Chain A
Amino acid sequence: MTDGTDLKLDNGSRVAVLGGGPAGTFFSYFLLAMAERIGLDIEVDIYESRNFSNLGPTGCNMCGGIVSESLVQALASEGMDLPPDVVQRGIDSYFLHMDVGSVKIETPLHEKRIAAVFRGRGPKGSQNDDWRSFDGYLLNMAQEKGAHLMVERVTEVFIEDKGKPQIKTKRGHSQVYDLLTVAVGVNSPALKLFTDMGIGYKPPGTTKTFICEFQLGEEKIGQHLGSSMHTFLLSIPRLEFAAIVPKGNYATACMLGYKIDKDLVNAFFSAQAVKKNFPADWESAENACQCSPRMNISAADPPFFDRLVFIGDSGVSRLYKDGIGAAYRTSKAAARTVVFEGVSKEDFRNHYWPICKSIKNDNFLGKLTFMIVGLLKKVRFARRAILRMVSLEQSKEGSRLRMSTVLWDMFTGSAPYKEVFFRTLHPFFLSKFMWNVAVALWPFKNRPSKGEAS
């Protein structure tokens, strides 16, 4: 074990991870894997009181449950292939729905590259015994790598005399660690333990979202939603963005907006562009398993101290999209820093913070991009121009997919916002878009073009 002054891990060092969601389990898994490569023998305890094999809210970490195309590929490169019982639906395309029409955008290789997952074992009341929780699957992988699961609720955290973090649990367990990694979500009351410590930790800014999961039956899902993610750009006041994702015989609806309440949810489900994707006899999502979790929209300040690091949602996450992907990136960056550099504030500043900063800076351009989309969706001719441009790209074999890839990467979270933003500034993109705006404004041309769905 290290003494109080040595800010590096050594054989026998102990690491505590608060939270057994993706950030905590990715961190534990990669920390142990990297330590093993260099012959470092460390102990990792994951504190998680939630049981991911439960149905409904008690087993769920409350999010839309999308593993992005880029994360699916990164995990495959790591040799972590998501099994079919953990993925409830492989997604190979998405539909963009607006009041002026809908259009389907396919992956270039017609391949299922996005994974729709349940964070817990499934919605409350679900009868599917053969589904596995995504979070539970990752936790199991971390345990197989050697992490110990502590089914305990942490009630106290403080820095002991030698400068090491010490934690106490509800059941009276107490332990000093060489490093404490905080991987709890922004909805967890555990974050308050750190704001109350007086170390200067400011938690991330959040916004409220709405998620509901409702049963439609596999046949109806196949007929109406298929293997596509359905995104909606609707001019409904206070609604920023919404998506419906098929998962097995369920569908998950996610809404982002300002002050989401029952009226806004009802307005969304009553919109014709939404209703047409459901069976005619489908009434509403009132009996669905639903929640209104908070979502990270700005970085914690700062997300690291000596022997203390905040990863995933409690540190920095991507704006609106690919939160699981951000958890993977920050947890790996933290694990690399801990194994190859050290656990001091300086080590984290020099080797962990650059990744957080790149996500944070990218979010700035993401905010700008969503703001522009927010303005465009309020203007009917702009919506028509977007629809026309995508429809033409999708209907012509070999056509350059300028708008399609911008929208795909933006809505699926597959590429950094910076890349998406700068692609929209390309002269060819702008000239094509302006041409489509001109055509959309011309009264005799305002008919749906070839490839444009009604």
Chain B
Amino acid sequence: MITGKLGKVYGNGDVIVRQGETDDCMYEILEGQVEVLQERGEKEVRLAILDKGDFFGEMAIFEKEVRSATVRAIGEVRALTIDKKALLRRISEDPTLAFRIVERMSHRIRELDNEIVRLKAS
């Protein structure tokens, strides 16, 4: 039996983050895959699939807005919560801690730019 697994286990289809709710943390995926969905009326639009080593919910760390999307487990997922207060305290002491988050957000903006260009061109 493996006793050294950290985080919390979510079953297939479990909602980890719900669009419209408020929360004070982000999540690091330690195992498995999640899908990021935006609910538009009755419809769900899948925005992304995230894997082990990715994080989500980071907007809640820097904004006071409600969750912009729903995040649901695909299969069994193990994720670790990173508290807003603890992270911001660390970042205020050590701004380099935000490098990875900024890098990933920059990467996502680049992807969004490409998506806008693709949509405008079509």
Inter-chain CA distance A74–B7, complex, in Å, is 14
A70, A77, A89, A109: most-surrounded residue (chain B CB, <10 A):
A77
A-B contact pairs, 6 of them (CB 8 A): A70-B86, A74-B90, A81-B52, A90-B5, A90-B6, A113-B6
- Chain B contacts with A in 24-82, Cβ cutoff 8 A: 28, 30, 52-53, 55, 80-82
Do A112 and B1 have beta carbons less than 8 Å apart? no
Which residues of B are at the interface with A, using a C-beta cutoff of 8 A?
A: 1-8, 28, 30, 52-53, 55, 80-83, 86-87, 90, 93-94, 96-97, 99-101
- Evaluate whether A81 and B3 lie within 8 angstroms (CB atoms) in the complex, with A74-B90, A329-B93, A336-B94 already known: no
What range describes how many residues of A lie at the interface?
35 or more
- Evaluate whether A77 and B101 lie within 8 angstroms (CB atoms) in the complex, with A329-B93, A332-B96 already known: yes
Contacting residues, chain B, for A78 (C-beta < 8 A)? 97, 100
Do B3 and A115 have beta carbons less than 8 Å apart? no
Contacting residues, chain B, for A89 (C-beta < 8 A)? 3-4
Do A76 and B82 have beta carbons less than 8 Å apart? yes
Q: Does A256 contact B (CB under 8 A)?
A: no
Inter-chain CA distance A113–B6, complex, in Å, is 6
Do A112 and B6 have beta carbons less than 8 Å apart? yes
One digit per residue, 1 when the CB lies within 8 angstroms of any chain B CB and 0 when it does not, for chain A 54-89 equals 000000000000000010111011110111111111
Do B4 and A88 have beta carbons less than 8 Å apart? yes
Do B28 and A81 have beta carbons less than 8 Å apart? yes
- Chain A contacts with B in 156-205, Cβ cutoff 8 A: none
Which residues of A are at the interface with B, using a C-beta cutoff of 8 A?
A: 30, 34, 37, 70, 72-74, 76-79, 81-90, 109-113, 115-116, 218, 227, 246, 248, 329, 332-333, 336, 355, 358
Residue of chain A at shortest CB distance from B52: A81
Known: A77-B100, A89-B3, A333-B94. 19 other contacts (CB 8 A): A70-B90, A73-B80, A73-B82, A74-B87, A74-B90, A77-B90, A79-B53, A81-B52, A81-B80, A82-B4, A82-B6, A87-B4, A88-B4, A90-B5, A113-B6, A113-B7, A115-B4, A115-B6, A329-B93
Inter-chain CA distance A73–B97, complex, in Å, is 11
Residue of chain A at shortest CB distance from B5: A84
